[in-house]
């Protein structure tokens, strides 16, 4: 009886997982609730591994069910977990970082002594990852962009509504996308590195704006109280609006990338997981390479806030680049972790 219940639970998990595999192919305006399933995928992987272990110990071939299901979703799996060996970065032609700095809230403080200590730690970390050619920052208004440029000694900068590009190389051209009814945006700039002109994008897609609500519900929520259900309904409404806006923004960005006359390096906070419509539209449909898939190691989670196991910050590149390395740094200076890649131009 127990074995039968476990077997059917395994089957239901497989059916649910196959449904999750459809998420990147469904436009949120057509059926937005499916977008809620994307963030569940890392947890589904763990459940499948549990079933595989159980059936293997029981010496029953049912372990092949979950194993096959994971293999069918290999493209999604490798966007969450990667175990690639990096190459030496000594020959890197371009080193780029994407960092949602959260308006520097965690290093700017009313207490001058505490602020100085945190800023010193932040600058020490940034010095440890030098030399950087490009820093793409999100949630970084112009006054903070200028602070970063001054403290980190970036001579060139460009910012669009809180989305910034800081560069060691002159900006040959620049522009941006200001999304309708949104504070989010995209900045782009052309730079020349070792005789190669490339286009760099710094991207911040529509925020979900549910972290505070989720924190409050987790601390005080009670499913027997009406206020809790009102709060849940509010979170779902915000998520619906955000995911539909992201789909429109991703379409605008994908079109702009497709028109680029130069190889693209795109850095940014998508506010969406790899199992999402926006990620597929911007990256895979444009033929861009996810540097984490190529040279990442371990779990690629980049969000350090209240919602766990989320990979929402990316560096995507033109396939003509050789990806040498991809790093994620679990640092406390923001609610996001910075990601860095090292690229080489083809011979």
Do both 295 and 186 map to the same domain? yes
Burial zone of 147 (CB within 10 Å; 0-12 exposed, 13-18 middle, 19+ buried): middle
- pTM metric for this prediction: 0.91
91 with 224, same domain: the answer is: yes
- pLDDT score of 231: 60
Model confidence pLDDT, tens digit, residues 52-65: 999 999 989 989 99
Domain boundary among 44, 59, 77: 77
212 and 320 belong to one structural domain = yes
Please give the mean pLDDT across all residues of the chain: 90
Of 22, 47, 77, the residue at which a domain comes to its end is 77
pLDDT band, very low/low/confident/very high, at 4 (cuts 50, 70, 90):
confident
Same domain, 116 and 232: yes
Distance (Å, whole) CA 167 – CA 328: 20
Residues 8 and 109 in one domain: no
Q: Report the relative pairing of strands 163-167 and 264-269 from DSSP bridges.
A: unpaired
The answer to whether residue 3 scores a pLDDT higher than 60 is yes
**Can you list the pairs that 72-79 forms with residues at least 24 positions away whose Cβ atoms lie under 8 Å?**
72/18, 72/21, 73/17, 73/20, 73/21, 76/21, 76/41, 76/274, 76/275, 77/45, 78/293, 79/274, 79/275, 79/279, 79/290, 79/292, 79/293, 79/300, 79/311
CA distance 277 to 280: 5
Which is nearest to 76 in space by CA: 347, 317, 276?
276
For residue 10, the enclosing domain spans 2-77
Could you check whether the bond before residue 131 is cis, i.e. omega within 30 degrees of 0? yes
Say if residues 177 and 205 touch (Cβ distance below 8 Å).
Answer: no
Residue 330 belongs to domain with CATH number:
3.60.10.10
Per-residue tokens: 58:
């029981």
Largest distance between two CA atoms of the chain: 70
Q: How far apart are CA 254 and CA 205, in angstroms?
A: 12
Q: What are phi and psi of 273, to 5 degrees?
A: -85, 170
Instruction: Identify the residue with better confidence: 87 or 338.
Output: 338
Work out the average pLDDT over 99-127: 88
In angstroms, the CA 210 to CA 217 distance is 10
pLDDT at 16 over 90: yes
Same domain as 72, residue 93: no
Residues 27, 110 within the same domain = no
Domain count, the chain: 2
């Amino acid at each position: 009886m127990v074995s039968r219940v476990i077997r059917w639970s395994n089957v239901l998990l497989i059916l649910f997982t196959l449904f999750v595999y459809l998420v990147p192919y469904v436009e949120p305006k057509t059926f937005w609730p499916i977008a809620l399933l994307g963030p569940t995928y890392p947890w589904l992987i763990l459940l499948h591994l549990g079933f595989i272990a159980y059936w293997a110990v029981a010496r029953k071939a049912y372990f092949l069910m979950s194993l096959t299901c994971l293999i069918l979703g290999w493209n999604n799996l490798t966007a969450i977990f990667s175990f690639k060996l990096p190459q030496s970065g000594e020959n890197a032609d371009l080193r780029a970082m994407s960092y949602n700095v959260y308006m520097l809230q965690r290093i700017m403080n009313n207490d001058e002594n505490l602020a100085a200590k945190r800023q010193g730690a932040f600058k020490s970390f940034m010095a440890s990852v030098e030399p950087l050619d490009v820093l793409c920052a999100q949630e970084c208004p112009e006054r903070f962009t200028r602070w970063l440029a001054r403290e980190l000694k970036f001579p060139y900068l460009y910012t669009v509504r809180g989305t910034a590009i800081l560069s060691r190389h002159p900006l040959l051209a620049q522009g941006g996308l200001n999304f309708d009814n949104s504070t989010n945006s995209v900045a782009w700039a052309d730079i020349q590195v070792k005789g190669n002109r490339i286009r760099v994008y710094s991207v911040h897609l529509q925020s979900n704006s549910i972290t505070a609500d989720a924190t409050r519900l987790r601390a005080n929520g009670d499913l027997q109280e009406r206020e809790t259900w009102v709060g849940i309904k509010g979170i779902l409404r915000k998520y619906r609006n955000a995911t539909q806006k992201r789909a429109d923004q991703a379409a605008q960005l994908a079109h702009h990338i497709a028109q680029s006359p130069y190889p693209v390096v795109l850095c940014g906070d998508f506010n969406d997981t790899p199992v999402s419509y926006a990620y597929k539209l911007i990256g895979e449909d444009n033929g861009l390479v996810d540097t984490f898939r190529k040279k990442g190691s371990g779990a690629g989670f980049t969000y350090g806030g209240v919602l766990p196991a989320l990979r929402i910050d990316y560096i995507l590149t033109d396939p003509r680049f050789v990806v040498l390395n991809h790093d994620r740094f679990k640092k406390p200076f923001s609610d996001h972790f910075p990601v860095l890649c090292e690229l080489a131009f083809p011979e």
